[in-house]
Amino acid sequence: MNILVTGGAGFIGSHVTDALLDQGHTVHVLDDLSTGREANVAAAAPLHQFDIRSDQASALMEREAFDVLVHHAAQMDVRASVADPSFDADVNVRGFLNLAEAGRKNGLKKIIFASTGGAIYGEPDYTPQDEEHPVRPLSPYGITKLCTEKYLYFYQQQYGLEYVALRYANVYGPRQNPHGEAGVVAIFTQRMLKGDQPIINGDGKQTRDYVYVGDVVRANLAALDYDGSGVFNVGTGVETDVNELFQTIRDLTGADIPEEHGEAKPGEQQRSVLGYATSEQELGWTPQVDVSEGLARTVDWFEQKDVRADA
């Protein structure tokens, strides 16, 4: 198939691109490199450095007549979305519509969308949170992800354009950017390897569901093969609090760094954990890498990356 991966120079998108190429697909990458890195993009995938809102992006959709759009490009900083909701909506909603409109006019058959679990569900009424859990996004970022899911349903109903929305838990692994707002695993790992002090927000008892990027890639491949449309959680069903995360990464890096706590972030969600029973039943997907193994792989990658950087 001929596939466009937006955000394909980023953390998750570049791994998905690699896997699609390995399967023999023709893959193009659309990324404005605002957070992605050109070095992440495989040589076999042409890189188009456009904003998803641009005329160039819609022209690319028209020219290449892609079969599938794998949409990972986004304004993903939750705090930035709160500070500037209009910009968040412009990128995440208008940008998506720019691609979707061009795609449906030019033979696009399917959209695989990187949605979000925790930011859509909010604090859990029950755990693990399944796809039937009430949706109560508390940030413009979460709102735009939910809004895009509703647009996907519209395009499926109106034009027969199939879709799979994957509601990710907290994704971590090699290539994650340690400089952004997201990615506590990458932030803690890099700081510990450098001998710097990471700061735990608040008491550190807030929990998240950490899912390894390799498992997320497999979910995208399963979505590509799925015959139908729907919304699916991509998580592990396991909660890990920040204190546990800190201690595990400290052990893996061998850092002699004390546990230090700072001020809690106002309004920070306290718990998030996603059930994957529907993904198992419909997509044949289950997580394979537990958090201890995934963290070991991630720390090893960051260690090797630092060695290369120093060479």
Which of 256, 131, 250 is closest to 188 using CA atoms? 250
2: β partners: 26
Q: Which two structure tokens, joined as six digits, stand for 272?
A: 């998030």
Q: Which long-range contacts (CB under 8 A, 24 or more apart) does 101-105 make?
A: 101/58, 102/57, 102/58, 102/59, 102/61, 102/62, 103/61, 103/66, 103/69, 103/161, 104/155, 104/159, 104/161, 105/62
Phi first, then psi: give them for residue 2, nearest 5 degrees.
-100, 115
Kindly state the DSSP code that residue 26 receives in the 8-state scheme. E
Active site residue 141: yes
Asked whether the beta carbons of 169 and 285 are under 8 A apart, the reply is no
Residue among 141, 168, 172, 210 flagged as catalytic: 141
Any idea which residues carry the catalytic annotation? 141
